[in-house]
Structure formats: C-alpha cells, structure tokens
Copies of this chain bind each other. A is one copy, B any other.
Amino acid sequence: MNLPAKVTVKEVGPRDGLQNEEEHISTIDKIEWINQLSESGLSYIEITSFVHPKWIPQLGDAVDVAKQINRKPGVTYAALVPNERGLERALEADIDEVSIFMSASEAHNRKNINKSIRETYPVLSPVVQTAKNEGKTVRAYVSTVFGCPYDGTVEVDQALSVCERLFEMGIDECSIGDTIGVANPLQVERVLSTLSNHFPKDKLALHFHNTRGTALANVVTALQLGFTTFDSSLGGLGGCPYAKGASGNLATDDLLYMLEEMGIHTGVDHHKLLKSGEWIQHVVGKPLPSHHMQMLRSGGIQV
C-alpha cells in the first residue's frame, strides 16, 4: 500500500461544526476550544465565519473570537468569507487564511448562495484579489462534487470547471467536498484522478462527510493516490445539515486514529484531542457522533 509519510488535518469544527449547532455557544467557550485545538498540535483551524450573522447567528461573534484567541506560532487560523463585506471584517480580525465557497452543482449553489454558478464568480474574484493583496492565502470550498441533494449526479467536468475558474482567480488551495456524504472509493478514485490531471495534488484537499459511513474508506483511496490534506471536525460535531441526527463531517478523532495506526504522521496529540472533544461535547450539551466519542462515553476507552 503506497501511503504518504505525513498528512495535514485541517480542523473545521469551530466553523463547520458549530454553525449547525442550535444551542448558543458563548464567545468565551469558542475561544477556549480553539485554544485547546491549537495546543493539541493541529496546524490549521477554521475558527469562524464572516457570513452575515443574519444567516449564521451562532457565529455572529466572529471578530471577537478571531481577536481574542491565542495565536500559536505555526498554526494557520482561517475563516469563511462569502463576499467583500465579509472580507473587510475578516481582515479587521487579522485572519491568516480566507476560505471562499461555492458548489459544483447549479441547484446547490443557488440554494446556498442564491446565485447561479456563473453569477458567483464575479462575487468571489474581488475577494480573492483583495485577500491576496493583503498578504493572505485563500482556500476555496467546492461543495457537492460527488453528488447534490437537489441535482443528484454531478459530473466531474462540473467540478473541474469550477476549480479551474477558482485557480485562475488565484486561490492557493481547493477543498473538494462530498457535502452529502454519498461518495464511494471507486468514485473518489475517478474524480481525483481527473482533478489531479489538471491541478497539483498538494493544492487539493478532501472534505468528506461520513453520512453513509464511507468517509474513512474514501480517505484511504485518496491517500493511495497521493493526496495529503483532509478536512475534519472533532467529534463529528455539526452532524448532517440535510438529515438531523445523521452523521455529517468526518470526525477528526476517528481520522487521526486510522492515520496514526497506519504510521502516517499528523503532528497531533490524540490524547489532547480526545480531551478537547469531551470538553466541547459537554459545552454543546449533547453526545457527539464520532466513534471515539461513543467509545469514551461507553467506557471502551479512557482519556
């Protein structure tokens, strides 16, 4: 099995996880959690979103969170930014990396952004330009690459077109998303083989959801193809926005267990990570869906 020696795990829990939580989480608790995450050895944390608080009230304290966390040297603190107004706030908060987002499928893009794919580019292009001019790196999320909750099948050419336009704008990395967790390893192999014919593998990250249990199988396929950057959310926080109670984001704790056992270096202290998972589980006040959080609750493992 041909595997990379090390992998970068990008923790998206404080943004992608918390934005789906109904329970109000205090700014103090968010700051404490992000500090715990950087202390665990994670080198990349997406800490909040500068989407207008009208849409995501949970993350309305984005500027305060960004300004008050401890900035650990070597850690990239990123945040989601939808447009130029959001970018202004992100720059004010001195975010290291800006994440923009759109979808590979027309219907999901329209539902999520209220624009066609074609109409989205002129909104994102000045965000990328200004962010780059300000010395920031830019990541783009491309959602629904492996399937769309409205359009169903998504052709790899649709993702390819969107990625091409985003890289032309000057983004540094593109995160390829299985937004509804339908991907299987064979499809992952096909899609990633095509994408890696057009873009360097180290410019692509994988953002798998575990809705149907296939996320780690998809990770292994991507590893074997030479991909080394994966997004995940501690404890699987956030669930599935399309099916309440179902699994959503791949869980950082489950991902790290598998990577470590396969001898792949991540730089993350699994023990500290699990402690932090227990802590945020207590804060959100409900059981988190990851396998390791299940094991901790059941006494199958201890930290």
> Cβ of A187 < 8 Å from any Cβ of B?
yes
Q: Which residues of B contact A221 (CB under 8 A)?
A: 1, 220
Instruction: Identify the interface centre among A243, A257, A299: most chain B CB within 10 Å of its CB.
Output: A243
Stretch at the interface among A101-109, A167-175, A245-253: A245-253
Stretch at the interface among A7-15, A44-52, A211-219: A211-219
A101 to chain B, nearest CB (A): 22
Are B187 and A261 neighbours in the complex by a CB distance under 8 Å?
yes
Q: Which residues of B contact A257 (CB under 8 A)?
A: 212-214
A114-145 toward B: CB 8 Å interface, digit per residue (1/0)? 00000000000000000000000000000000
CB < 8 Å neighbour of A189 from B1, B294, B299: B1
Q: Which residues of B contact A242 (CB under 8 A)?
A: 300
Are A300 and B261 neighbours in the complex by a CB distance under 8 Å?
no
Are B258 and A294 neighbours in the complex by a CB distance under 8 Å?
no
Name which residue of chain B comes closest to A289, CB basis. Answer: B294
> Cβ of A98 < 8 Å from any Cβ of B?
no
A203 to chain B, nearest CB (A): 23
Q: In whole angstroms, how far apart are the Cα atoms of A211 and B292 in the complex?
A: 8
Count class of interface residues, chain A: 35 or more
Q: How many of these chains are in the complex?
A: 2
> Cβ of A290 < 8 Å from any Cβ of B?
yes
Name which residue of chain B comes closest to A244, CB basis. Answer: B298
Are A211 and B295 neighbours in the complex by a CB distance under 8 Å?
yes
Are A246 and B216 neighbours in the complex by a CB distance under 8 Å?
no
A192 to chain B, nearest CB (A): 11
Given A213-B216, A216-B214, A240-B300, A261 contacting B184 (CB threshold 8 A)? yes
Q: List 29 A-B contacts (CB under 8 A).
A: A1-B185, A1-B186, A1-B189, A3-B186, A184-B258, A184-B261, A185-B258, A187-B261, A187-B262, A211-B295, A211-B300, A212-B257, A213-B216, A213-B254, A213-B257, A214-B216, A214-B254, A214-B257, A214-B258, A216-B216, A217-B219, A220-B221, A240-B298, A240-B300, A243-B301, A245-B297, A245-B298, A246-B291, A246-B295
- Listed from nearest, the 3 A-B pairs whose CB atoms lie closest are A243-B300, A245-B298, A243-B298
